[in-house]
Amino acid sequence: MFEFKFPDVGEGIAEGEIRSWLVEVGQTVAEHQALIEMETDKAVVELPSPVSGVVAELRGEVGEVIAVGTVLALIEESRPATVTESGQPFAAGVVGRLEEATESEPDPGRDAEAAPVLPRDRKLAAELGVDLQQLRGSGSKERITEEEIRGAAGEKEKSQEAERIPLRGVRRTMAKAMAASASTAVHVTIMEQADALALRRLREREHGLAAERGLRLTWLPFIVKALTLVLERFPLLNSTLDLDKSEIILHRQVHIGFAVDTPDGLLVPVVRNTRQLSILELAAALQELALRARERKIGPGELKGGTFTVSNYGALGGIWGTPIINPPEAAILGIGRIEEVPVVRDGQVVARPVVPLSLTFDHRIIDGATAHRFLNALIEYIENPDLILLET
């Protein structure tokens, strides 16, 4: 009987949440066939079977958090599994191969009479002083649940007044990243607005060509392209800080991350080498990455490596904001809702479309004067978009 364990999928991931089972008990599976869909703090991944055979048992329920190395399924093999020199089976993960962990369940000799319990729940019981041998377990396979442990400790997990939601996956990753950013970078935000009349006319002029290619041409591709040109002129805003070596790393290439609101929390896909992409190519990349991010079909590698981030909260109706830097980057640009407002032009009050811009920068790396010059240069491109075309 082959034990299929949650493999080490890389990226420093230690656990994952069961999103869905893709097979049933009694089902015949082929080698490399996907068995389960797991959600980690990076992405949703499908784990393939390293052997062919018949599924004898499935362990774990949808929504349950499983540690790396835990047995997920038992498979009656139709052929022997690949083994190492030590005789241990291998499991094929989504990233290469790995040797199986030597411990997946509590030691039966240590707790012969106790019901099964996940490692994280065993740790919780120790912290709360709960004797696991006094609990029977009512979860999957009579597993002792977190609620039972807290109940035994005299804690009430739920009440009529409130509901507790586990902080997992994307939301937990976002919480850690934002806390790390707020506690390390010295955040300063400056705000300006740009007249977007000429940019609106350019966008309307190219709208038909984009539609022919199945693209919805928004403001964002133009602003990303303008950002790329300005970042090349102000490399400090396209940098990261290495405190250990007391060095500022100036990145030669521009890789723009953009915040995407998903049902599971905020994700930041990265469009790489934006200097080499046309406006329409940027539109296609932004559209495709945003769609896969919302469907949680984006790979972990597509969520890292950015050198600057854009938060387009204007798409949700926001005007001004103080965006938090996406570590380890040096700055982030917030884009507000573009709307017509009264402005004075040549002594006359006229209605013009205006784009609100909020630039947050790390004051350890960037001084205020440099940040203002950067924002002024960006405004120049937005108000004179022909300059974007001339330099690309």
Task: Quote the radius of gyration of the chain (alpha carbons, Å).
Answer: 26
pLDDT bucket at 379, cuts 50 / 70 / 90: very high
For residue 21, the domain's CATH number is 2.40.50.100
The answer on pLDDT for 104 being more than 60 is: no
Tokens for 290, please give them.
């945003």
pLDDT bucket at 35, cuts 50 / 70 / 90: very high
Domain count, the chain: 3
Same domain, 343 and 228: yes
Same domain, 87 and 162: no
Inter-axis angle of helices 368-383 and 197-212, to 10 degrees? 60
Q: State whether residue 366 is helix, strand or coil.
A: coil
Q: Which residues is 82 bridged to in the sheet?
A: none
pLDDT bucket at 171, cuts 50 / 70 / 90: confident
- pTM of the predicted model as reported, rounded to 2 decimal places: 0.66
The answer on pLDDT for 223 being more than 50 is: yes
The amino acid present at 177, given as its one-letter code, is: A
Same domain, 21 and 75: yes
Q: In the predicted model, what is the mean pLDDT of residues 139-151? A: 76
Host domain of residue 31 = 2-99
Which whole-number Å values give the CA distances from 217 to 209, 257, 295, 333, 339, in the listed order? 9, 18, 21, 20, 17
Q: Mean pLDDT of all residues in the chain?
A: 84
Whether 207 is a known active-site residue: answer no
Same domain, 183 and 259: yes
pLDDT bucket at 14, cuts 50 / 70 / 90: confident
Same domain, 268 and 314: yes
The answer on pLDDT for 305 being more than 80 is: yes
Cα–Cα–Cα angle for 40, 4, 72, nearest 5°? 55
In terms of Cβ atoms closer than 10 Å to its own Cβ (0-12, 13-18, 19+), residue 375 is buried
The answer on pLDDT for 356 being more than 80 is: yes
Contact 339, 354 (CB under 8 A): yes
Same domain, 178 and 312: yes
Contact 345, 197 (CB under 8 A): no
Q: In the predicted model, what is the mean pLDDT of residues 363-375? A: 97
pLDDT of 10 reads 67
Same domain, 235 and 337: yes
pLDDT of 91 reads 41
pLDDT bucket at 157, cuts 50 / 70 / 90: low
pLDDT of 111 reads 44
Cα–Cα–Cα angle for 383, 267, 357, nearest 5°? 20
pLDDT of 85 reads 46
Same domain, 268 and 201: yes
Q: What is the maximum span of the chain, computed from C-alpha positions, in angstroms?
A: 87
- Percentage with pLDDT > 90 across the chain: 49
Residue 227, domain member (yes or no): yes
Q: In the predicted model, what is the mean pLDDT of residues 121-132? A: 82
The catalytically annotated residue of 32, 251, 255, 363 is 363
